[in-house]
Structure 1
């Protein structure tokens, strides 16, 4: 990938039982190669098994080995925070469950834990207990974590938080910026409870070029100062950060040339171009045939209008990266090319059919069940994306394919937000492609952090249009650009346009189309469940006055009645 590599660390770690017969500390560092150093980062982890716990040593070892194994098994598209918290939650539950074999949980599998994950230009710190993480920058040692311990007198304390101590885990998280030359230090209390921060700072600064020597000095001096606990430390110096030069990025992005204008009959990398499916100012779609595999694909090519725009090229490249990681029957499949590409393009599965926009023109105001047959698969596709920390951001009728075989799939990844990729810094201004205004949630327009609730809003807008033939909020959302403008919008009931829309279904639409994302459903699955199953809370409003349920039909009826009265009086 264009943002591969670049992060370089010098590392050292030491551990000693000290005056104790058994070393209950555990520590580990993993610096992966190739793509994972970019998408997942490098990990340093240190754990201190609680002395009062009978299985403290086993708990510390489990934390270290389990995290280093499971963290790198999480999806590349997940953010560091989501990946780490998911793994830590599972580890804590296992430790707590094992600890139930003891009379008291605090006597079982209990350990402190501190983690530093270096990804791009950020250090992600996760911490529970009284081990610590420091950062030495320009001669100043700063403690990045706080101890979860309560003093009980005579220099003694007990942990208020630790791995395996409680079924619910409360982990501190912090994102710290990283600069070349920074030294990060992870230590257990056998060192930092004895040595002051100023003394640790002096020792590390004195041996800054020899991290291995500096780590051993920390242990030796702590022992000499009377430490009676296990002693462990890790030191990581940042020697280089990724992609500091925009020219390097541009060269990587432009390794493959844009394809020439294509037409039926041309052959690209063994693929026969049969027809152009669609063309827009940003890209072209072609139906192509692979004679060796006897299979048809859709080839997407970039627009020549952007052949010198690195932000556009990056987004185009990421489309195929995203598509290959979404495994769902309800999302179009991105296919690996049969040959190494000689141009910049990507392939997806070919499925003949109509876009939902075309389908809606042929089937205006479908019955509720027909609508659900299309919307439920779209919701499942969105759930598959959201599980990957990926938000589509441009759900609209033209990005939903209704196949001739009845299969419904989400297409186009050109506006997707991927949490894991958003954490990777690049020295170019990224391309921010907004979704289509009529279907976009207000937070997209206002530049707020993406979430699954924005896709929920777009899906609800499509349902509203399918049932009524009208856009929600009378189509005025596309004219809003400020918080004040959005706050003035008032939801107009779907029943005002289609008397056959049940009130409970309209209520679910009103909630999913709330201007404020906090007022919507917490997950798209809850929204579609209420679409298919009358919510008892909404049923309370079933017997509203006709004027409230359908004001248009009410006034039409009143007008007709008055007209008949007038005609009757004239004929008398």
Structure 2
């Protein structure tokens, strides 16, 4: 696997050195590796460094360690680059653990000490953050001044100074608990990965000194390992050293896209050819973009979106525009707008997507008026399928509203416009730069965006609930007041108008309860899953039945007080009729 020096233009510079030997043992059961890619892969996935130490009592220890490092380092780069490092690496480690555990069961190993079991230490440097994953007693350190600070905690159960067993390791059990932490990177940070045959025998300060005085990192790694051997180490010796000499600059320029530095496409005239697409006409224009209908050589229709002159001069807005196609290419759902590759190599900056023969949900609502319950369920159900495609890739749409929903002639619903979409994996690279921060119409925006509180998939649920409410009633649950929220106090003062207040909507009380919950100002009081919201729109749940089993005083106050008065009269008559002492 690659080591030495790796960099991309104006990007990180990472140096790697390593040494691994059997030491006094007959064979080396350690495995170590690194992957430092280039270009967009380095930006979106980072550089990964892994180390595994096979359990010494197992005859397949080396096979386990090698399989673990190889699988983790390769499979990590097969995961979605929209995911966070933690999500991607955790899923890969979990899958690797399951495979190792299964291999042990396959060969009939009853004792885990003889199975496919190994430690794992994984370091991923992405953007300006270091991500540490760990199980077992291999260690990851950071050089700090004249010594090294451990970034991991050993999962070793000791029975003596030199003897013990692993309390946690890959392949030992069906499930694996992985320690995780992240820390900010600074240029020049040095990380050291060691197996127990090294760090059990050498002081951290001595190792740090050897790194400072070595000519290169390979030499430093070898000197540390041999120092441990000289101190009496009787185990395998593996050291990997990583130095981040330079880091990517923060900001939107840290996000390369498939379009690179292509020039912005000027507004094409009808009949013009754009990379094999023949322009038919302009169909829509806003202050952010202009959309043209084009025809591909095979006769299919393609929507061509170019940035407006206003955002061309704004690097953040332009980068957000370019991210739209990046996002569309990473979501595969019949309910989400699909990106289209132009017939010829791209020569300009634009976004090409499928053309949907239909109308926006806003136009559909104007044409048909309030929808019935069955139609509302159908539209909401399709929107949930689309939103799940975002959420499973750790994305939030953040601008779900009727204008950003299309319905084609077959009734298929699609979510469009990704200019406000938040991507967790991108946020790790370039936080606080405004990418995915341009929110849409405030009437559909969850209050937590306006109060500065934490956002989550429940924020998209709020927008979905608002659309469902509007489909049924033709109005919004909080009217214009939702757009005026600026604090938590404002949010909690929002006055929900029951969907049942309009008799013509024919909304049953239990369905109104589901709507009220979906648009609750407090995100933690909304549904626990999108599917739960849809289920409560289809049938009353135990919760909605309980909520609408109202006491008589609420349902009929007059009858309630008549009953109370009658009971009091009976008590008074009985008291008067009671014989005295």
Q: TM-score higher than 0.5 here?
A: yes
For 2:148, which of 141, 153, 167 is the aligned residue?
Answer: 141
Structure 1 residues 327 and 544: alpha-carbon distance in aligned structure 2, compared to 1, 3 A threshold: same
1:365 aligns with 2:382: no
Structure 1 residues 158 and 527: alpha-carbon distance in aligned structure 2, compared to 1, 3 A threshold: same
| 1:567 counterpart residue number | none
Q: Is the 8 A contact 1:434 1:445 kept in 2?
A: no
Relative to structure 2, which stretch is displaced further, 133-142 or 16-25?
133-142
Count of aligned positions: 548
CA distance in 2, matches of 1:492, 1:500: 15
Partner-residue secondary structure (3-state), 2:32: strand
For 1:516, which of 512, 522, 532 is the aligned residue?
Answer: 522
CA distance in 1, matches of 2:121, 2:485: 46
CA distance in 2, matches of 1:361, 1:304: 31
Relative to structure 2, which stretch is displaced further, 78-87 or 165-174?
165-174
Q: Deviations over 1:117-165 (max 9, x none)?
A: 1111211111111111111255442221121223323433332222223
| 1:47 counterpart residue number | 52
For 2:457, which of 427, 442, 452 is the aligned residue?
Answer: 452
| 2:62 counterpart residue number | 57
Q: Is the 8 A contact 2:248 2:254 kept in 1?
A: no
Partner-residue secondary structure (3-state), 2:27: coil
For 2:385, which of 377, 380, 387 is the aligned residue?
Answer: 380
1:62 to partner: Cα distance: 2.2
1:355 aligns with 2:323: no
For 2:121, which of 114, 118, 135 is the aligned residue?
Answer: 114
Relative to structure 2, which stretch is displaced further, 188-197 or 523-532?
523-532
Structure 1 residues 452 and 407: alpha-carbon distance in aligned structure 2, compared to 1, 3 A threshold: same
CA distance in 1, matches of 2:556, 2:222: 79
CA distance in 2, matches of 1:110, 1:250: 39
Q: Is the 8 A contact 2:35 2:49 kept in 1?
A: yes
| 1:255 counterpart residue number | 261
CA distance in 2, matches of 1:344, 1:176: 36
Structure 1 residues 546 and 377: alpha-carbon distance in aligned structure 2, compared to 1, 3 A threshold: farther
Q: Is the 8 A contact 1:10 1:237 kept in 2?
A: yes
CA distance in 1, matches of 2:386, 2:520: 22
1:196 aligns with 2:172: no
Q: Deviations over 1:84-114 (max 9, x none)?
A: 0111111222233344433333442222111
CA distance in 1, matches of 2:530, 2:257: 40
1:297 aligns with 2:299: no
Structure 1 residues 214 and 550: alpha-carbon distance in aligned structure 2, compared to 1, 3 A threshold: farther
Structure 1 residues 138 and 318: alpha-carbon distance in aligned structure 2, compared to 1, 3 A threshold: farther
Relative to structure 2, which stretch is displaced further, 538-547 or 41-50?
538-547
Partner-residue secondary structure (3-state), 1:423: helix
TM-score by length of 2: 0.88
For 1:132, which of 139, 163, 177 is the aligned residue?
Answer: 139
Measured on the aligned residues, the alpha-carbon RMSD in Å equals: 2.8
CA distance in 2, matches of 1:248, 1:170: 33
For 1:239, which of 238, 245, 260 is the aligned residue?
Answer: 245
Structure 1 residues 349 and 250: alpha-carbon distance in aligned structure 2, compared to 1, 3 A threshold: closer
1:241 to partner: Cα distance: 2.0
For 1:344, which of 345, 349, 353 is the aligned residue?
Answer: 349
CA distance in 1, matches of 2:127, 2:471: 44
1:388 to partner: Cα distance: 1.4
Relative to structure 2, which stretch is displaced further, 190-199 or 511-520?
511-520
Partner-residue secondary structure (3-state), 2:41: helix
Q: Which runs of 5+ in 1 are unaligned?
A: 555-572
| 1:564 counterpart residue number | none
Partner-residue secondary structure (3-state), 2:294: strand
1:281 aligns with 2:290: no
Structure 1 residues 549 and 50: alpha-carbon distance in aligned structure 2, compared to 1, 3 A threshold: farther
Partner-residue secondary structure (3-state), 1:63: helix
Q: Deviations over 1:171-207 (max 9, x none)?
A: 1111122222222110001000110111111111111
| 1:467 counterpart residue number | 472
CA distance in 1, matches of 2:249, 2:190: 20
Relative to structure 2, which stretch is displaced further, 185-194 or 511-520?
511-520
